[in-house]
Structure 1
Amino acid sequence: MILSALLTSVAINLGLCFLFFTLYSILRKQPGNITVYASRLVVEGKVKEGGEFNLERLLPTAGWVRKAWEPSEEEFLSNSGLDAFVFMRIFIFSLKAFAFGGIIGMFVLLPINYSGSQLEDYSDFQHKSLDLFTIANVNNGSKRLWIHFCAAYAFTGVVCYLLYYEYGYISSKRIACLYSSKPQLHQFTILVRGIPVPRGRTCNDVVERFFQEYHPSTYLSHSVVRRSSKLQNFIDVPAAFVSFKTRFGAAIALNIQESINPTEWTCEQAPEPHDVYWPLFTVSFIRRWISKLVVFVACVYLTVLFLIPVAIVQGLTHLDQLITWFPFLKGILRLSFVSLVVTGYLPSLILQMFLSFIPPVMVMLSSLQGSISWSLIQKSACTKVLLFSIWNIFFANVLSGSALYRVNVFLEPKDIPRVLAEAVPSQASFFIAYVVTTGWTTIASELFQLPKLIFNFINRIFRRKIGDGFEPPSIPYHSEIPRIRLFALLGVTYFILAPLMLPFLLVYFCLGYIIYRNQLLKVYVPKYETGGGYWPTVHNSTIYSLVLMHVIAIGIFGLKKLPLASALTVPLPVLTLLFNEYCQKRFLPLFKDYPAECLIKKDRTDQNEQNMPEFYDKLANAYNDPALLPTKYSESSDSHTSPLLHGSAT
């Protein structure tokens, strides 16, 4: 890609972003759009529908930026919850890391890359290839490559320090939220599956006798999961929600093996009652294991199938190849503006259109694995979407062409750095355009909310007032976090290869921080809490990105005839993995379970609460199966309890 094609893409996307911001600043002030741009405030009763026409409402303003910026971190945490707080810390962490990387990259590495003469390009500046701004243009054997070597070490050190700080900071917030919260139903409850019910006995009696015998001092009550006859075909071994008098008592039952047979009396932490995913979650151990295997095969099949649109996209980035495919379009494609749009803007747009179908598919696949809650389904889908994105957006594009058919080189680990070092820099221009096209426009469209705006307009034609069925949306973490982490992976990977990408990434993270802060305060309502459970995924993906950068750097220095730098880079991924191992031992256990110290302190504090008897009464009936309740569901019922339970309620 030439520089003018990138500038064309930047201009198009800047125009779209400006259009979205302008329309948003006008439309958000219109009374009829209040359920689109302030749905959370509507539910909380802070704003109301209605109002008279005012000419000032037609003037674009940026007051929403100031209002989104004003709340402190503590105010944001108390208002939006720990998951939203962690989501925003992803942007803060990325801004810190790439601010440092951007300074080194733009003012040190980029001039070195551009001043090299390894690549010959005698065209004028606007028609120069973007490859001239990459490490590929540095002369082989040049001593200047040692600056890239030092930059890799410095950037890795800064990123690891920031990771350690964020892991510790979020861990402390997780503990603080436990101490400051009121008693929560799920903290006292576990789900027990694989209950062995002898012939002639009932599940209810078996559960009660078991826990009264082995947990006599802490057992409180239980609720057996039952299904109506229409769902019996989906159920094997029975299950029950078992509640305890203290959090510590529930933790003990959760973390010890209850039976000699590990497939019986298996325990899991219960989700919040409204977060329970009732359909199919009581399937047996064997069926859950088979389901996971089937889902894995389906994910692999989908990943392979997606190589088709990737190949199409890569064909668009090479104009000569496109003319070979479609010779009848040669005249049109030779037009300057058309070629700039086709090679600089269209590929990323097409790829994003195909990718938009992936998150809902991954949610569907995750729901088939026997998860007990909607939050677990989304966390599982988040991991699947992230892995899918890394392979199909990064590796599939990088290894497109001849390298794609040399998969056998990965059977020789020593060849991996060389293959990646040859392939990754050549795709720098595509990924820079991808950040601009997909990143900027997607983040701006999040603010504009076009589909919801259209739906709201149609809805207003038939119903002028906000009805009882109105339900504000929740942020789709399973699609947003993988997108953010993919951009971070591109930034880390191309830090020493193509530092020109970093300013565009910084723009993306700045836009994302202020836009999502606005959305979480005004639009999205948290439907569940994982206690910051998404941060370990962020940490792991960052470590993976660093190691990938190191492997590519080892290959690059080898190709550039600087074997000593290549050898001295080898300790870098080892040190990074050792650092990761320390963080996993130091912080990860706090995200799996609360320590006994915290649980006992919180339980002792609850002893002074006067409303604990009422809380225990509520706990006894909190996990009753909705399949056995009278049908009272409206059209706005949560998707994870309808329509499957609609026809099965008794």
Structure 2
Amino acid sequence: MILSALLTTVGINIGLCVLFFTLYSVLRKQPGNASVYAPRLVAEGKMLRSDFNLERLLPSASWVKKAWQTSEEELLSLSGLDGVVFMRIFEFSIKVFSFAMIFGIILLPINYVGNQLTMDYMDLPNKSLESFSISNVNDGSNRLWIHFSVAYIFTGFVCYLLYSEFKYISSKRIACFNSSEPKVHHFSVLVRGIPVSSGISFSESVENFFTLYYPSTYISHVIVRRTSKLQKLISDADDLSKRLLQMKSASYTQQRVGRASFLGRKVDLVDHYEKKLEDLVENVRMEQTLITGQEVPAAFVSFKSRFGAAIVLHVKQGINPTEWNTEAAPEPQDVYWPFFSASFTQRWILKYVAIAACIVLVVLFFGPVVLVQSLTHLDQLETWFPFLKGILRVTFVSQVITGYLPSLILQLFQHYVPPAMIMLSSIQGYIARSHIEKSACYKILFFTIWNVFFVNVLSGSVLYQANVFLELKNIPSVLAVAVPGQAEFFIAYVVTTGWTNTSSELFQMFSLIWSFIKRKILGRADDKLVVPSANYFSKIPKILLFGLFGITYLFLAPLILPFLLIHFCLGYIVYRNQLLTVYSPKYDSNGKFWPIVHNSTIFSLVLMHIIAIGIFGLKKMPLASGFMIPLPVMTLLFNNYCQRRFIPLFKSYPAECLIKKDRDDQSSGTMDAFYERLATAYRDPALAPIHTLGISDGRNAPLLQATEV
């Protein structure tokens, strides 16, 4: 890619960003768009209606000031520790790449004044971006020792920041726990693999076991039941109830007489749907009655203290390792009910099925990546499509195709990756949505790094030389040749995917269009407001991918650094605003996403070191190449220290904290009311009473007691 093509891409994306920011600053002030741009504030009753004034039609940046001035404590109270950790990823990245920019300012002229690549210095617009990379530095030049020093200094700085962040977030976890009110999931564990006993139910087995072995701490349990059919009936009844609500609303203008089915006779649709709803509700009640005996060998077991629950969680309960397995209980609203009936063997099989499916998805994505790489080489396109030769030689068209279009196509294909990974993670038997999302986050990160980084790098240079990877010693030299050659593509990718995606996150185009269709065309303005949650599992891998780009290309092609820094600054402001006004957390993992960030950053550093070993070897600097070898070793030792120092605090809370909190609660005298709530906290929502609009016949009492004590 030449410099003018990059400038074209930058210009297009700056224009899109300015457009999105301007439209957002105007549209967010319109009362009709409150459900799009401030659903959280609307749900909390903080959105005040204002009279019409000219200011509503003028763009302003007041939201930027509000997002900037919000303190971390305010953010913690609104979005939980997950929200704080998410924003600290941006803060961490800004610190890293602000420091890296210092080296970039030093390295860019050093790379540019080299003459390894034969180029015309006077023809700057048509100069290849490779002239700003390490490839342009002469072989054996003493200037390469500056690149060597940068690798060491930068690694030390990043490791220092990683340690500081890990320490800070670990202390925040403990502080949040110490200041929290009693939470039901701290007093409960999930028990799976309850053994079958002749003549007694699973519920009785649980009660007998924990009454016998934990008589002083055991309180109650909630047995899990098979409710998949019941959940489907309730979902159908809920959808039909919403449809009836819409038809009875004053804003509904369509005819109420029509065909209930494709070939059915014409009926009064309101009467028809009311009768159908009554039948569904009756079926729900019937199913709730029949479900009493459909127990699953799993139960939520509650205890009088956090420490008592922790002992049960960390001590093996039965002789048979597949029976009486204990897991940490998630928050009640975090529970994912569908896969409780899966056995130990089924979960084991499904785990590997999901891994195999993920690998297949990675392989299938290889096609779009090859297509994207072909667009970066006009000579290949002219060979494959000779009839496009005339169009491709138009300067602006060629610049758009090589600079903007490849990143856009790759971004469109990636849009379908997060839903696919969520589906694969959900079949693995996880019992909490937060567990599913964390697993999906790992899968998306692996998928993104492999397909966006490695496959793009390798398909551009050594696609047909796979045999070079048969020996580990070849990997540094292969990467040293392949990675610098793709710097221009990744710069365009950062600008196209990073800048524009961040500004479109603010603009919420699809939500805005759907809101308009609902209000103006479908007449569904009275629909219940749904406040979205921030999908950290899909956003964090994108941030970490850009971090990989920056760390890897720090001394290879430092021209990427300012574009990355702009992206992280944009993301910091935009996502703070979104967490304050749009997203509301449905549950909080208490910062458990940070170890993913730490591990990804360590991987990026080690990859940079491996590439450095290869590049110094190719540049005829064997001494520098040899001196680079201790750096990845020291980085991995540092990572091992951090894993042993901090990870235990992310897996469970220490006894010191648990016992102290238990004593404080007991002395407060408020635990009796909490124990009553604890006994029913994990009741399956499908077993709760049915409350449906228009169906109020006094039969709303629960049909099934979900708690056995």
Q: TM over 0.5, yes or no? A: yes
Which amino acid in the other structure matches residue 303 of structure 2? Answer: F
Query: 1:90: Cα distance to partner?
Result: 0.1
Q: Deviations over 1:35-64 (max 9, x none)?
A: 11111111111114x543322111000110
Residues 137 and 216 of structure 1, relative CA distance in 2, 3 Å threshold: same
Query: 1:281: Cα distance to partner?
Result: 2.8
Structure 1 residue aligned with 2:119: 121
Structure 1 residue aligned with 2:16: 16
Structure 2 residue aligned with 1:310: 369
Q: Does 1:135 find its partner at 2:134? A: yes
The partner residue of 1:564 within 601, 611, 623 is 623
Q: Does 1:67 find its partner at 2:66? A: yes
Which amino acid in the other structure matches residue 435 of structure 2? Answer: L
Structure 2 residue aligned with 1:639: none
Structure 1 residue aligned with 2:144: 145
**The residue matched to 1:190 in structure 2 has which SS?**
strand
The partner residue of 1:438 within 492, 497, 506 is 497
Which amino acid in the other structure matches residue 336 of structure 1? Answer: T
Residues in 2 aligned to 1:409 and 1:600: alpha-carbon distance in whole angstroms: 57
Q: Deviations over 1:63-115 (max 9, x none)?
A: 1000111111122212221000000000000000110011111x211111111
Residues in 1 aligned to 2:24 and 2:299: alpha-carbon distance in whole angstroms: 48
**The residue matched to 2:191 in structure 1 has which SS?**
strand
Structure 1 residue aligned with 2:43: 43
The partner residue of 2:108 within 107, 110, 132 is 110
Which amino acid in the other structure matches residue 571 of structure 1? Answer: P
**Aligned residues between the structures:** 631
Which amino acid in the other structure matches residue 62 of structure 1? Answer: A
Query: 1:409: Cα distance to partner?
Result: 2.2
Query: 1:176: Cα distance to partner?
Result: 0.5
Q: Deviations over 1:131-184 (max 9, x none)?
A: 000000000001110000000000000000000000000011111100111111
For structure 1, list consecutive stretches of 5 or more residues without a partner in the other structure: 635-648
Which amino acid in the other structure matches residue 132 of structure 1? Answer: S
The answer on whether the counterparts of 2:194 and 2:297 sit within 8 Å (CA) in structure 1 is yes
Query: 1:280: Cα distance to partner?
Result: 1.7
**The residue matched to 2:381 in structure 1 has which SS?**
helix
Residues in 2 aligned to 1:624 and 1:633: alpha-carbon distance in whole angstroms: 20
The partner residue of 1:291 within 350, 359, 367 is 350
Q: Does 1:349 find its partner at 2:408? A: yes
Residues in 1 aligned to 2:397 and 2:564: alpha-carbon distance in whole angstroms: 26
Structure 2 residue aligned with 1:155: 154
**The residue matched to 2:422 in structure 1 has which SS?**
helix
Which amino acid in the other structure matches residue 458 of structure 1? Answer: I
Query: 1:632: Cα distance to partner?
Result: 4.4
Query: 1:282: Cα distance to partner?
Result: 3.0
The partner residue of 2:597 within 535, 538, 554 is 538
Structure 2 residue aligned with 1:637: none
Query: 1:633: Cα distance to partner?
Result: 7.8
The answer on whether the counterparts of 1:485 and 1:538 sit within 8 Å (CA) in structure 2 is yes
The answer on whether the counterparts of 1:236 and 1:283 sit within 8 Å (CA) in structure 2 is no
Query: 1:626: Cα distance to partner?
Result: 2.7
Residues in 1 aligned to 2:533 and 2:299: alpha-carbon distance in whole angstroms: 29
Residues in 2 aligned to 1:5 and 1:617: alpha-carbon distance in whole angstroms: 67
Q: TM-score, normalised by structure 2?
A: 0.87
Query: 1:629: Cα distance to partner?
Result: 3.2
Residues in 2 aligned to 1:473 and 1:387: alpha-carbon distance in whole angstroms: 26
Structure 2 residue aligned with 1:358: 417
Greater Cα shift, 619-628 or 259-268? 619-628
Q: How does 1:49-448 map to 2 (within 5 A)?
A: 50-105=49-104, 107-122=105-120, 124-228=123-227, 230=229, 238-448=297-507
Q: Does 1:598 find its partner at 2:657? A: yes
**The residue matched to 1:607 in structure 2 has which SS?**
helix
Residues in 1 aligned to 2:524 and 2:516: alpha-carbon distance in whole angstroms: 12
Residues 236 and 616 of structure 1, relative CA distance in 2, 3 Å threshold: closer
Structure 1 residue aligned with 2:269: none
Residues in 2 aligned to 1:68 and 1:275: alpha-carbon distance in whole angstroms: 28
The answer on whether the counterparts of 1:187 and 1:247 sit within 8 Å (CA) in structure 2 is yes
Query: 1:610: Cα distance to partner?
Result: 3.3
Q: How does 1:494-533 map to 2 (within 5 A)?
A: 494-533=553-592
Query: 1:464: Cα distance to partner?
Result: 7.4
Structure 1 residue aligned with 2:668: 609
Q: How does 1:20-39 map to 2 (within 5 A)?
A: 20-39=20-39
The answer on whether the counterparts of 2:519 and 2:525 sit within 8 Å (CA) in structure 1 is no
Residues 170 and 334 of structure 1, relative CA distance in 2, 3 Å threshold: same
For structure 2, list consecutive stretches of 5 or more residues without a partner in the other structure: 231-290, 694-705
Structure 2 residue aligned with 1:552: 611
Higher alpha-carbon Rg: 2
Which amino acid in the other structure matches residue 24 of structure 2? Answer: Y
Residues in 2 aligned to 1:465 and 1:317: alpha-carbon distance in whole angstroms: 46
Residues in 2 aligned to 1:448 and 1:633: alpha-carbon distance in whole angstroms: 35
Residues in 1 aligned to 2:296 and 2:477: alpha-carbon distance in whole angstroms: 52
Which amino acid in the other structure matches residue 626 of structure 1? Answer: P
Which amino acid in the other structure matches residue 409 of structure 1? Answer: V
Q: TM-score, normalised by structure 1?
A: 0.95
Residues in 2 aligned to 1:188 and 1:32: alpha-carbon distance in whole angstroms: 44
**The residue matched to 1:201 in structure 2 has which SS?**
coil
Which amino acid in the other structure matches residue 227 of structure 1? Answer: R
**The residue matched to 2:29 in structure 1 has which SS?**
coil
Residues in 1 aligned to 2:182 and 2:585: alpha-carbon distance in whole angstroms: 18
**The residue matched to 2:190 in structure 1 has which SS?**
strand
Query: 1:377: Cα distance to partner?
Result: 0.8
**The residue matched to 2:223 in structure 1 has which SS?**
strand
Which amino acid in the other structure matches residue 5 of structure 1? Answer: A
Structure 1 residue aligned with 2:246: none
Greater Cα shift, 462-471 or 519-528? 462-471
Q: Deviations over 1:579-626 (max 9, x none)?
A: 000000000110010111111111111113333111101110111123
Residues in 2 aligned to 1:236 and 1:44: alpha-carbon distance in whole angstroms: 39
Residues in 2 aligned to 1:222 and 1:585: alpha-carbon distance in whole angstroms: 34
Residues 607 and 468 of structure 1, relative CA distance in 2, 3 Å threshold: farther
Residues in 2 aligned to 1:75 and 1:427: alpha-carbon distance in whole angstroms: 42
Backbone CA RMSD of aligned residues: 1.6
Query: 1:467: Cα distance to partner?
Result: 4.0
Residues in 1 aligned to 2:636 and 2:228: alpha-carbon distance in whole angstroms: 52
The answer on whether the counterparts of 1:191 and 1:241 sit within 8 Å (CA) in structure 2 is yes
Which amino acid in the other structure matches residue 97 of structure 2? Answer: F
Residues 4 and 165 of structure 1, relative CA distance in 2, 3 Å threshold: same
Which amino acid in the other structure matches residue 38 of structure 2? Answer: A
Query: 1:631: Cα distance to partner?
Result: 4.0
The answer on whether the counterparts of 2:296 and 2:340 sit within 8 Å (CA) in structure 1 is no
Residues in 1 aligned to 2:500 and 2:460: alpha-carbon distance in whole angstroms: 28
Residues 222 and 2 of structure 1, relative CA distance in 2, 3 Å threshold: same
Query: 1:411: Cα distance to partner?
Result: 2.4
Fraction of identical pairs, as percent: 66
Structure 2 residue aligned with 1:460: 519
